[in-house]
Amino acid sequence: MFQLSFLNASLLFFALATILPLLIWLLAKKKPQKIIFPTLRFIKLSKEQEKSRSKLKNILLLIIRMLIILLVVLAVSRPMLSSPKLKPSGKHPPTAIAILIDTSYSMDYAERGKSSLQYAKDALKKINSKANPDDRLIPVSSDENWNLLHSQIYAGSLPETLIDQLKITFHPLSLEEMLALAETKLAESQMPNREIYLISDLRIPPAELKTNIPIALIPLPETSEYENLAVISANALPQLVEKHNQQLIQFTVANYGSTKRQDVLLKAVVNDIKLAEKFISIPSQSTITETILVELRSDGWQSGYIEVNDERQIMDNRCYFAFPFYSKPRVAVISQSSNLPPILATVLRVYSSSTPQVISPDALSLSDLDKFQLFIAYNCGPLTSRLLEIFTTLQNRKSGILFCLGNNLSADLKSYLNNTFGLEIKDRTQKSITIDNINAHHYISSLVSGKPLKNPILTDYWQAVNKSAGVLISAQNFPLAVINGKQSLWLWNISADNNPFFIDPAFPVLAFRTLDYIAGSEIPETNAKIGQVLTFNRLKLPTGEIITSRRYLATEPGIYIFEPDTPRSYAMAINIDYSDSEARTNFPKGVKNLGEKWEDKLFFSRLGHDLWKILLAIAFALMIVEIIIVKTEEARAK
């Protein structure tokens, strides 16, 4: 089957000029009627035979002239002939193409000394060599920020510097989002021929691309055997009942390859100092979880990473962590009593590795609040305006404070605690009660929840009715330990020496984790991932840049420091989504694979074979024939 198309189809209008010679001939043929006299009849008859030959000649010349005009018009219109039986033409009409370039971190996987992203850049340069000046090229990468600057319409080819600027992103757009941008840009090109090409290693989530524009995959060289190690988690293990500089870091390493990896070097870096190294072995297609011991060298927020030595894919070699550590937390007790109950004094001494400072409510000022990390309120007496201001300021700052009840509780302080914690505190009682519920979902109580208590009985405590409190521990629906933000309340009488629960092994763990949590020294969860929106006043990025905005989308892994150079500074570890580390292959639906010889299959719309030279040659030959006929006739007439 043959198909004929025209590059300049609008010029076919001039084919109407083909009938001009015919019109002229017809008009010239109409002559006035002649009357032949008998004396001239024999002369007329003698010329009839000559006129019949002349008429055939004129008709032939008319046809030739009409064909010449038609062939010239067709040649100028640039007809293109295509057929499956003919060899494909190397030419294509002006086309707008969008190139979807996968720049997720899996494209950094290197084999034979070259990464997939480098192969993708080579493919872009080959596309440049195939494009014509009339073509329009639109690059669309997985990096949204890169697209804002560089996803434009380029005439003829992509700039070499633009191709070199392509880099890995840890927060890639989905293929559907990239396709939507490509369709928008192609519409802006206002070109009838539109095509989309995808360059990817196919280690992507499953996708189905729906569009009226043809999409084709430009394949990258396949890896011989996928091998990759990734550190997929790292976090500090909590210290249970005592602060010390020896800190265990727990980590998980995944082997996504098909071979066992032995004697792999792993290192722990804390505050930019390599503190420990370890060799590990990992079976194929499996994960291992181990610990590494580091010695912390200073107080404050500790941040760092666990890194495995793997050269093929380096983007997932690190997993970051951050946690606070204070060997001697600064603790102040707000109390009218200079001597603390033995249980409370022991708990605070073990936690802070020192004797806590006791401050009278009358002597405490707002300037003292920045000197301590944690406040304990015990036997404060009446709630004075000064004390109320202190409590309100601590609450607004989200600073930690633990309220420990003793033998007495003033009415105004009871009212304050009721409003703060959502309780209705009744009277102190010495009626025995057994702990029967421990919150399994809060940091403070989760470690002891679900474990049997040896001494779950309390014989001296303050009864309370739960209104809207965050209950950590309760007995017979009576709350005994509650939490509200960074403020906590113990309803057992801490000054009583006859509470069996105080000698239960779970109590020091519970007390230690309570102090750790409200002091902000708890080990934070390390599940923050790329793409999380951070809220802050000032933020120090992993690059060292400090920004002052209210919201920021984390797009790079590393350590983010909130409110740097202030007493309320803290760090957060942001890690990547490790799905791109896996040995997965997902071919998107709706995409055609161009195969190995993809360079020869670029540009789906081919023009076919150009016929204009042939048509002009035929027209020129007909002109020569016309001249020969005319000259021959003139010679005969002479």
Q: What are 531-578's pLDDT values in tens digits? A: 999 998 999 999 999 999 788 999 999 999 999 988 778 899 999 999
Q: Does residue 585 fall inside a structural domain?
A: no
Cα distance from N-terminal residue to C-terminal residue, the chain = 53
Residue 421: the pLDDT is 96
Partners of 300 in the beta sheet? 325
Q: Are residues 559 and 459 in the same domain?
A: no
Mind giving me the DSSP string for 311-373? SS--TTSEEEEEEEE-SS--EEEE-S-SSPPHHHHHHHHHHHTSPPEEE-TTT--GGGGGG-S
Residue 502 and residue 378 in one domain: yes
**Domain harbouring 494, CATH code:** 3.40.50.880
pLDDT for 63: 85
- Per-residue pLDDT at 39: 55
Average pLDDT, the chain: 88
Does residue 214 belong to any structural domain of this protein?
yes
Residues 554 and 506 in one domain: no
Using the 8-state DSSP alphabet, how is residue 597 labeled?
T
Task: Reply yes or no on whether the pLDDT at 42 is more than 70.
Answer: no
pLDDT of residue 66: 84
Say whether both 319 and 342 belong to one domain: no
Rounded alpha-carbon distances, angstroms, from residue 357 to 118, 352, 549: 62, 11, 38
Is 216 in the same domain as 105?
Answer: yes
> Is residue 262 domain-resident?
yes
For residues 369 and 425, membership in a common domain is answered with yes
For residue 250, count other CB atoms closer than 10 A to its CB.
16
Tokens for 361, please give them: 């409510």
**Token digits of residue 319:** 């997993």
Among the candidates 469, 499, 518, a domain finishes at: 518
- At residue 10, the pLDDT reads 75
- Higher-confidence residue of 637 and 560: namely 560
CATH of the domain at 149: 3.40.50.410
Only one residue has tokens 């404060």, namely 380
Residue 69: CB atoms within 10 A of its CB come to 18
| Residue at 276 is within a domain | yes
47 pLDDT band (50/70/90 cuts)?
A: low
Instruction: Report the alpha-carbon distance of residue 530 to residue 545 in Å, rounded.
Output: 18
Assess contact for 241 and 508: CB atoms under 8 A. yes
Domain match, 108 and 82 both: no
- Name the nearest CA neighbour of 241 among 545, 432, 546, 514: 514
Same domain, 320 and 386: no
The total number of structural domains in the chain stands at: 4
Helices (H), 474-611: 506-518
Are 366 and 292 within one domain? no
In this prediction, residue 610 has a pLDDT band, given cuts at 50, 70 and 90, of low
Range with the lowest mean pLDDT among 30-44, 114-128, 193-207, 264-278?
A: 30-44
Q: Which of 580, 602, 625 delimits the end of a domain?
A: 580
Residues 164 and 274 in one domain: no
Read off the pLDDT of each residue in 101-119 and give the average, rounded to a whole number: 92
Q: Residue 442: exposed, middle, or buried by beta-carbon count in 10 A (0-12, 13-18, 19+)?
A: middle
Pick the last residue of a domain from 201, 222, 243.
222
**Do both 204 and 241 map to the same domain?**
no
d(CA 635, CA 638): 5
For residue 384, the surrounding DSSP H or E stretch is none
Question: Is residue 638's pLDDT more than 90?
Answer: no
Phi then psi for 60, rounded to 5 degrees? Answer: -65, -45
Tell me the pLDDT tens digit for each residue of 487-521. 999 999 999 988 999 999 999 999 999 998 998 87
Residue 464 within a domain: yes
589 in a structural domain: no
Q: Is residue 591 part of a domain?
A: no
Q: Are residues 394 and 505 in the same domain?
A: yes
Residue at 294 is within a domain? yes
- What's residue 599's pLDDT? 87
CB atoms within 10 A of CB 319: 24
> The domain containing residue 16 runs over which residues?
3-30+39-87+610-637
